[in-house]
Structure 1
Amino acid sequence: MADYPQVTRDDVLAAAKRIADDIVRTPLIEAEIRGHRVWLKCESLQTGGAFKLRGATNRLLQLSEDERRRGVVAFSSGNHAQGVAIAAARLSIKAIIVMPSDAPIKKIEGTRAQGADVVLYDRRTEDRVALAERIAADHGSVVVPSFDDPHIVAGQGTVGLELQTQLAEANAGAAQRIVICCGGGGLSAGIALACPEAAITIVEPQGWDDMRASLDCGHIVPVAKTAPATLCDALQTPLVSPITFDILHNRGADAVSVSEMEVVDAVRWAWFEHRLVVEPGGAVALAALLAEKVEIVPETVAILSGGNIDPDLHSKLVR
């Protein structure tokens, strides 16, 4: 028996009802790769620029009145930070966000713009979880993790419910394969629960593919201390959680990794083919399809999970 809270598809269905008025129904667009039809689920166009608002909203809506008064603390390189900051501002909850000092300025400024207090740390020498827990203890606040929480996973899973509805509206079949960007695994685990009939493929940047290694080994494996620098700041999770690992392991999810150049190619392709601004970490699922690392079957869906990229960097990459 697992010693952590379990998450079920019913939790995802409940989350969808709970957050329906607080999120954007993001587009599902038809695209073509090497003559094959694929579908792109554009969570890069979600409020806050990423899917993270879904889980953050689901979590914060379930806080007690006392917990709301005491505020929340989160740790994130940016997208979860903004999701929590937006949800907290809407509910008049004080939010403190622990962010790496090398996070994109756009993400730091976007978080502060929502009224959250930002505490910066060095991701190479400091433990963000310990820092967040210390701040929470000092303020009596509730820690809202980015993926290691059943309410967060359930909220992220609403992406899967939504895309299935959109496929039906387009007179297409149910999703057969869903290719998903993976950091800590909250999004991919939630979608795996929401879409039990679809094959699940998770994609990570090379050197940060700890979920792939964990699924291969059958137990959680951390990212190596020598992990390389990557453009995919949103996917630099050093250790996945038992909640997300077990869901993906039990669902038989497979996993691939992509190179920095393959990620850049995907950012460029999204812009030139569909005028979509996608950040590197949000483009890895698309990168895997473009690089032929994942077979395209009928009704393959790729999740574009985030669009919070510095404009100067985006301009440089697409040039």
Structure 2
Amino acid sequence: MSDPSGPVVTLADIRAAADLLEGAVLKTPCLAAPRLSRLTGAEVYVKYENMQVTGSFKERGALVKLSSLTEAERKRGVIAMSAGNHAQGVAFHATRLGIPATIVMPETTPFVKISATREFGATVVLAGDTVDAAKAEASRLAEEKDLVWVHPFDDPKVIAGQGTIGLEMLAAVPELDTIIVPVGGGGLISGIATAAKAVRPEIEIIGVETDLYPAMWGAVTGKPVICEGPTIAEGIAVKEVGTLNRQIVKDTVKRIVLARESTIERAINVYLTFQHTIAEGAGAAGLAALLTEPEAFRGRKVGLVLCGGNIDPRLISSIVVRELARDGRLVSIRIDTPDRPGVLGEISTIIGRAKGNVVEVAHHRLFLDVPAKGATLDVTFEAFDADHGREIVTALRAGGYTVRYIDRAETVEDPHRTPR
């Protein structure tokens, strides 16, 4: 590496990492995204790191670190802690290089990531509810078994490997004004910022974290933060950022956007429906930053790092349904009715004539607040948009039915509310 008195990672280090990765890691495409551009007002380009063999950028840094080990270190074996993507990167390339690998993962890690890590050849140990708890167990095992640490972010070799993404983005789109990078421990943004600012000094690097885990934001602003809670972006749910990364971010990153969970969900859905690609929560965080502050990026050439696509398929299904509800295209209502033959048919007819599509009906007679000769119907129907949904509800009310929205605040009223 470079002189200890100079930068931790240099452009030369990142170029050397790029040479090492040649042919072993995919140079993923960085492509224009016209539909995202129309949605956000920026000229958007997406770097598709979800196309890597392991589904994320993490194998870049993992391979650079593994390749730097001595023969004696390789025989000892390596250990890593990860919520999933670093785990898969280390597992895949360690197996390919003949290095035994042990990965400690939080017990809350999505099963799809645990399964993939095992399939890539690593021994998986589940410990604790968070990355930090997993780190403590990994430290214990490293000392007990004399294993070599492969840190997910606080390592110059790893940072250099991740920085190759920045080189590739500017090679594909040299005139980028801004790159938005998801931030967990800080390895990805440290590498990209180092590379991009060296090649194009005027470029702005923007970080993004989930507002449940604003660890780097707190580190660079000096403000106290609380990092806790279940998040869809578990890949960036870090309570303590890297020491090396913190300083690099302070020196090179303009600012960090905090995105709400609901906005990250929306970003996942937008990637799926607009770009026909899969993004996990952390992978969609860059787009969530654009959706959070569209005016800040309007008219700029913005590169988004879609850093990973390892998400549970069941979670994707849930997100799609929730986003249909938020957009007012899937509407749930409760209707009080007399308990007589033909009522359900009448209600279905009104919805059908208004061009709605009934997708689910639940018929309740045992609710204590319903008259003995009455019933309550919970109806979910599809509409073209929020206005169309309101038209259908108006038609039902005009037909003499009492209609109440179920979870209206999460559906029709404010589908694009501003994140806190």
User: How far is the alpha carbon of 1:318 from its aligned partner?
Assistant: 1.8
CA distance in 2, matches of 1:236, 1:34: 26
Which 4+ runs in 1 deviate beyond 4 A? 1-5
Q: Given the alignment, which residue of 195, 201, 215 partners 2:220?
A: 215
1:215-234 correspondence to structure 2 within 5 Å: 215-217=220-222, 224=226, 227-234=228-235
Q: Given the alignment, which residue of 45, 55, 58 partners 1:49?
A: 55
The residue that corresponds to 1:264 in the other structure is 265
Instruction: Provide Cα deviations, 1:113-158, integer angstroms capped at 9, x if missing partner.
Output: 0110001011359732332122122222101110011100000000
CA distance in 2, matches of 1:135, 1:4: 33
CA distance in 2, matches of 1:181, 1:26: 17
The residue that corresponds to 2:251 in the other structure is 250
The residue that corresponds to 1:170 in the other structure is none
71-80 vs 204-213, which deviates more? 204-213
User: How far is the alpha carbon of 1:5 from its aligned partner?
Assistant: 8.4
Q: Given the alignment, which residue of 90, 93, 109 partners 2:99?
A: 93
Question: More relative contact order in 1 or in 2 (CA 8 Å, sep 6+)?
Answer: 1
User: How far is the alpha carbon of 1:166 from its aligned partner?
Assistant: 1.2
Instruction: Provide Cα deviations, 1:200-225, integer angstroms capped at 9, x if missing partner.
Output: 1000001201111211128xx6x626
Pair member with larger Rg: 2
> What do you get for the CA RMSD once the two structures are aligned?
2.0
1:138-217 correspondence to structure 2 within 5 Å: 138-167=144-173, 173-196=174-197, 197=201, 198-217=203-222
User: How far is the alpha carbon of 1:291 from its aligned partner?
Assistant: 2.6
CA distance in 2, matches of 1:184, 1:253: 17
User: What SS does the corresponding residue of 1:280 show, helix, strand or coil?
Assistant: coil
In the alignment, is the contact (CA less than 8 A) between 2:43 and 2:301 conserved in 1? yes
The residue that corresponds to 2:108 in the other structure is 102
Identical-pair percentage: 37
Instruction: Provide Cα deviations, 1:19-44, integer angstroms capped at 9, x if missing partner.
Output: 11210111112112344321011111
The residue that corresponds to 1:82 in the other structure is 88
Distance 1:63 1:127, change over 3 A: same
1:23-62 correspondence to structure 2 within 5 Å: 23-31=25-33, 32=37, 33-62=39-68
CA distance in 1, matches of 2:42, 2:256: 21
| Structure 2 unpaired stretches of 5+ | 322-420
CA distance in 1, matches of 2:300, 2:15: 25
147-156 vs 295-304, which deviates more? 295-304
CA distance in 2, matches of 1:18, 1:246: 26
